[in-house]
Structure 1
Amino acid sequence: MWSGLGGASAHAASAVPSPDHVIVVVLENHAYSQVIGSSSAPYINSLKSGGASLTQSYAETHPSQPNYYALLSGSTQGVTDDSCVTPGFSSAANLASEVIGAGRTWASYNESLPSQGSTTCSSGNYAQKHNPWFGFSNVPTSSAKTFAQFPTDYSTLPQMSFVTPNLCSDMHDCSVSTGDTWLKNNLGAYATWAKTHNSLLVVTFDEDNRLSGNRIPTVLYGQPVTAGATSSTTYNHYDLLRTLEDTQGLSTHAGNAASGQDITGIWAS
């Protein structure tokens, strides 16, 4: 049985595991066919082989920013473009506020963020539009850390965290190969550790390249995942959000996650 909040009953009720640590990495603007099976993404494909792949995973809309709000809060929160938002403009429930409210631990790690908690619009390769936690008044800005603050002792990680690479590392401005290499160099050691420490890495994309019906790569890796598993069930950002909420044993689901479905068929028993 899975350890963690809720124990066996939560696992049985939700059909998802209870990992000790979950990291979600969101990459940018590439369709499933551009990444899965691509020689430019050997590391992501190794995660697929050693973990699980969702072959019918879809984003919600275009452009980038509303997808991030959908994934974090089950709603685009009225955001329709990539313009910088007023920090704390929304008090809607979201994954971070739910995790914190349940007495669990949360953080985001944001590459090229000028300083911990900075709500700046943009700075070099950093862009606020990929960091939806700044839009919520119920998420402490101090929980938004720089990537330099990402721990080397993975047992000290929060129970739930998001990692946002910068505009080059996330494949937005740079190549698939660049992003794949960044992922390996910066989260490969965590992925290896997760395999033996009841922890989970989720790699997904905000949206496709506008040419594939918004079908995106989503790969899950770690001890709770059956190696080599695939699911052809159609899932979207709201389903992933619901699944993340349920890994935390939360009693609530934000926005459209309430009517979403858990990701199933890929978990180790």
Structure 2
Amino acid sequence: MAAAFALAAASLGLWASSSSASPAAAVPTPDHVVVVVFENHAYDQVVGSSSAPYINSLVRGGANLTQSFAETHPSQPNYYALFSGDTQGVTDDSCVDIGFSDAPNLASELADAGKSWGSYNESLPSEGSTVCRSGDYAQKHNPWFGFSNVPLSSAHTFDAFPADYSQLPTVSFVIPNLCSDMHDCSVATGDNWLRNNLKSYADWAQNHNSLLLLTFDEDNRLSGNRIPTVLYGQPVRAGSSTDTTYNHYDVLHTLEDMYGTAHAGNAANAQDITGIWNN
């Protein structure tokens, strides 16, 4: 009887181990992920639009989430949701108190897992600057400044984006300025900016187990908050798409599972993005 009990216990242990590992096993582990966040456009304004030829080339060569949704309006709470699994009480676009929260977030989780993090912010006046607004730069699109557990030194100007992509952090966010992100300027302007600044990274990612993830903070308030989300790189099955409903919390959950971190806030109850990977 004791032997039978030990065997049953061992079998249960194996099952539990396999079960707990399965969500993370559903997604790849890229060497690098670069997340680019654009602004205030609905899915149909970008995907299939002649104004966005480069983004649509990424759709054809990568993966398209056809039912991807933001959380709320206006912009800033969506950035907090994407970064930390919670809007952290932020309800508008006002500048926040620096380091007002110590809640878990993608950067702190990556650090705890021994991985690296960085943000690259176009028009940020200087490395780690906490200024509220400067020209076309706006703090409201940079949620990392709201967290005391994210070093200010990890917030870089976009000029610091490395030419040697192997030197990128494990996960980084790229935040274009208010014109380049389509907030104040056209879809064509943002598409050209992406092609001119990140095409070489996207091409490199195809042969270096790395990923470009393009998404939007919110729609134009006219499409139920349905937004474009496109993934591109070697781990992605070219030309794939999924009509599963995903949101910012699912994107965060997927990034967390790629590196075996904990799940922040509402990402704990979210799902992995599946059906688009090569393996």
- Identify the residue that residue 193 of structure 1 maps to in structure 2: 204
Is residue 87–residue 136 contact of structure 1 (8 Å, CA) maintained in 2? yes
Question: In 1, Cα distance between the equivalents of 2:222 and 2:203?
Answer: 33
- Identify the residue that residue 225 of structure 1 maps to in structure 2: 236
Cα offset for 1:14?
3.3
Cα offset for 1:230?
0.3
- Identify the residue that residue 266 of structure 1 maps to in structure 2: 276
Is the aligned partner of 1:26 residue 2:26?
no
- Identify the residue that residue 190 of structure 2 maps to in structure 1: 179
- Identify the residue that residue 263 of structure 2 maps to in structure 1: 253
- CA deviation vs aligned residue, 1:73-132 (integer Å, no higher than 9, x gap): 000000000000000000000001100121111000000000000000000000000000
Question: In 1, Cα distance between the equivalents of 2:209 and 2:22?
Answer: 14
Cα offset for 1:249?
2.0
- Identify the residue that residue 80 of structure 1 maps to in structure 2: 91
Is the aligned partner of 1:70 residue 2:81?
yes
- TM-score w.r.t. the length of structure 1 is 0.95
Cα offset for 1:13?
4.2
Is the aligned partner of 1:124 residue 2:135?
yes
Is residue 18–residue 249 contact of structure 1 (8 Å, CA) maintained in 2? no
Is residue 107–residue 161 contact of structure 1 (8 Å, CA) maintained in 2? yes
Is residue 182–residue 189 contact of structure 2 (8 Å, CA) maintained in 1? yes
SS at match of 1:72: helix
Is the aligned partner of 1:92 residue 2:69?
no
- Identify the residue that residue 13 of structure 2 maps to in structure 1: none
Is residue 105–residue 159 contact of structure 1 (8 Å, CA) maintained in 2? yes
Question: In 1, Cα distance between the equivalents of 2:158 and 2:121?
Answer: 5
**RMSD of aligned residue pairs (Cα, Å):** 1.1
Is the aligned partner of 1:148 residue 2:159?
yes
Is the aligned partner of 1:158 residue 2:166?
no
Larger Rg over CA atoms: 2
- Identify the residue that residue 136 of structure 1 maps to in structure 2: 147
Question: In 1, Cα distance between the equivalents of 2:198 and 2:219?
Answer: 22
- TM-score w.r.t. the length of structure 2 is 0.92
Is residue 24–residue 260 contact of structure 2 (8 Å, CA) maintained in 1? no
Give me the identity figure in percent. Answer: 76
Q: Do the aligned partners of residues 12 and 214 (structure 1) sit closer, same or farther apart at CA in structure 2, a change above 3 Å counting? A: closer
- Identify the residue that residue 50 of structure 1 maps to in structure 2: 61
SS at match of 2:231: strand
Q: Do the aligned partners of residues 204 and 132 (structure 1) sit closer, same or farther apart at CA in structure 2, a change above 3 Å counting? A: same
Cα offset for 1:11?
7.5
Is residue 61–residue 214 contact of structure 1 (8 Å, CA) maintained in 2? yes
Is the aligned partner of 1:108 residue 2:87?
no
Question: In 2, Cα distance between the equivalents of 1:179 and 1:12?
Answer: 34
Is residue 24–residue 258 contact of structure 2 (8 Å, CA) maintained in 1? no
Question: In 2, Cα distance between the equivalents of 1:148 and 1:13?
Answer: 33
